[in-house]
Amino acid sequence: MTIRRRFAVSGELRPRQGWRRVGKGRRVCHGSNGTHGGDQDVLWWPGQRHEGAEKLRRRKMSHRKFEHPRHGSLGFLPRKRAARHRGKVKAFPKDDPSKPCKLTAFLGYKAGMTHIVRDVEKPGSKLHKKETCEAVTIIEAPPMVVVGVVGYVKTPRGLRSLNTVWAQHLSEEVKRRFYKNWCKSKKKAFAKYSKNYESEEGKKSIESQFEKLIKYATVIRVLAHTQIRKMKGLKQKKAHLMEIQVNGGTIAQKVEFAKSFFEKQIPIDAVFQKDEMIDIIGVTKGKGYEGVVTRWGVTRLPRKTHRGLRKVACIGAWHPARVSFTVARAGQNGYHHRTEMNKKIYKLGKAGQESHTAVTEFDRTEKDITPIGGFPHYGVVKDDYILIKGCCVGPKKRVVTLRQSLLKQTSRLALEDIKLKFIDTSSKFGHGRFQTTQEKQKYYGRLKA
């Protein structure tokens, strides 16, 4: 009798330690009358691959998948609460000295969402010259105020701060940013620093600091803050302060550009243009402590499972005697720092002008960008705003950072000229049908007293 190398018939050959019984097989023996076989237990060595053994093994598990993609991305670990409420710009666009000086970022506050109707300009597409309905987000962005300039020097370990020059007058809303408790403080922030502008020696020291920036700095950024007092829907009185990089021109031109904007307002249309692709940086809506099914999207266990089914059944091997970081576990969900790239600007609204309204070339109805009854959990948009395609991170009233795109945009989507035909202003609280209050009154008529 001949025993095949990859199989052993139980009872006639003692199997080595580590062989597994996988089911019934055929006993193989060679004789003068050919090959004869009989049903016997088949033993299979785990390291070996054999078609018959594989088929037998799979018959035991009718629906089991042996390979599948993991649940949840590991690219966003650790999934914990963000360290800061405001989105941090970790990289600014590459500088081009041949272009004029310009700011590269801005701050705004998320108001809410609506939808628009427009014609698609995409030759060759089935949607070309046809109407499409798209969701848009309104971000209110009052002008920011420049209160300082900071220079950086390149080192082998990255950028190092060289010097910071502040303006003479700082408003109360930005001074609050430097205090934990404004009411109990003496409110003397920048009192000594502002006196440097009054004396001759102080002016000379400030000028020497500007000269130092021009001589040694390689990166120039302005310190600008939001005018949060204009945001009537927000209870917060403390302004959001951030560094915005100045791109274009020489270092001397950048310093002069920043100096010329001290204590002046910069509107959003001075930073971004219509149809431009931008990136949005912010902190997502917080969800609190969540389980593995919600947090990672793992499959629920069968109904009859003991002690719960919204769990991960096996969290790893006995050794190594610790749980791997790749295993889905319960924990914090939401309130994460995220960057969304390539959001197209559909409209820039200027306060007090027709661009602030929702009037288009096709829809001449006089109506404001704010829907009937205001944006839920926000209110009325009174200042400058920006209309972007799609959604953005965070709940209503959250501060979001708007940044110019890091890459050169060449796609048809990025270069498409957007012409809005209709902006919806019906109530966002329930099923709104009317675009204006006048339209609603005309439909229902005079109500009884």
b/e sequence 119-133, b meaning 16+ C-beta within 10 Å: beeeeeeeeeeeeee
| Among 387, 380, 394, residue whose Cα is nearest residue 232 | 380
pLDDT at 26: 45
* pTM across the whole model: 0.83
| Among 67, 194, 143, residue whose Cα is nearest residue 385 | 143
pLDDT at 17: 52
Are the C-beta atoms of 142 and 230 separated by less than 8 Å?
yes
pLDDT at 36: 46
Those residues with Cβ within 8 angstroms of residue 385's Cβ, 6 or more apart along the chain or in another chain: 108, 111, 138, 139, 140, 141, 348, 349, 356, 369
Q: Could you give the CA distance from residue 220 to residue 149 in angstroms, rounded to a whole number?
A: 7
Q: Output the six-digit token pair for 50.
A: 């054999």
DSSP code, position 375? B
What pLDDT, in 10s, does the model give residues 207-257?
999 999 999 999 999 999 999 999 988 999 999 999 999 999 999 999 999
Q: Output the six-digit token pair for 432.
A: 């709104």
For 342: left if phi > 0, alpha if psi spans -120 to 50, otherwise beta; the answer is: left
Are the C-beta atoms of 378 and 112 separated by less than 8 Å?
yes
Cα→Cα distances 258→166, 220, 262, 320, Å: 11, 8, 7, 57
195 three-class SS: helix
Are the C-beta atoms of 21 and 43 separated by less than 8 Å?
yes
Q: Could you give the CA distance from residue 155 to residue 152 in angstroms, rounded to a whole number?
A: 9
| Among 24, 51, 23, residue whose Cα is nearest residue 38 | 24
Cα→Cα distances 172→141, 266, 430, Å: 20, 18, 40
For the four alpha carbons of 78, 81, 83 and 84, in that order, the dihedral sign comes to positive
Are the C-beta atoms of 212 and 152 separated by less than 8 Å?
no
Cα→Cα distances 48→24, 26, 43, 376, 377, Å: 18, 18, 11, 64, 63
pLDDT at 35: 43
For the four alpha carbons of 142, 146, 147 and 148, in that order, the dihedral sign comes to positive
Are the C-beta atoms of 220 and 255 separated by less than 8 Å?
yes
Q: Could you give the CA distance from residue 28 to residue 40 in angstroms, rounded to a whole number?
A: 10
Given the structure tokens 């199989």, which residue do they identify? 7
What is the Cβ-side half-sphere exposure of residue 79, based on CA atoms within 13 angstroms? 24
For the four alpha carbons of 230, 231, 235 and 238, in that order, the dihedral sign comes to negative
pLDDT at 151: 97
pLDDT at 60: 57
Q: Provide block-wise average pLDDT over 10 residues at a time, the chain (449 residues).
A: 46 48 46 46 52 58 77 96 96 96 97 96 93 97 97 96 95 95 94 93 95 96 96 93 97 96 96 96 98 97 95 95 97 97 96 89 92 95 96 97 95 93 95 92 83
Pairing of strands 20-26, 39-44: antiparallel
- Domains of the chain in start order, with CATH, are 1-68 (no CATH), 100-143+267-300+308-315+327-449 (2.40.30.10), 147-217+224-266 (3.30.1430.10)
pLDDT at 152: 98
Strands annotated E in 291-445: 331-333, 337-349, 385-389, 399-404, 420-423
pLDDT at 27: 42
pLDDT at 279: 98
pLDDT at 77: 94
pLDDT at 32: 43
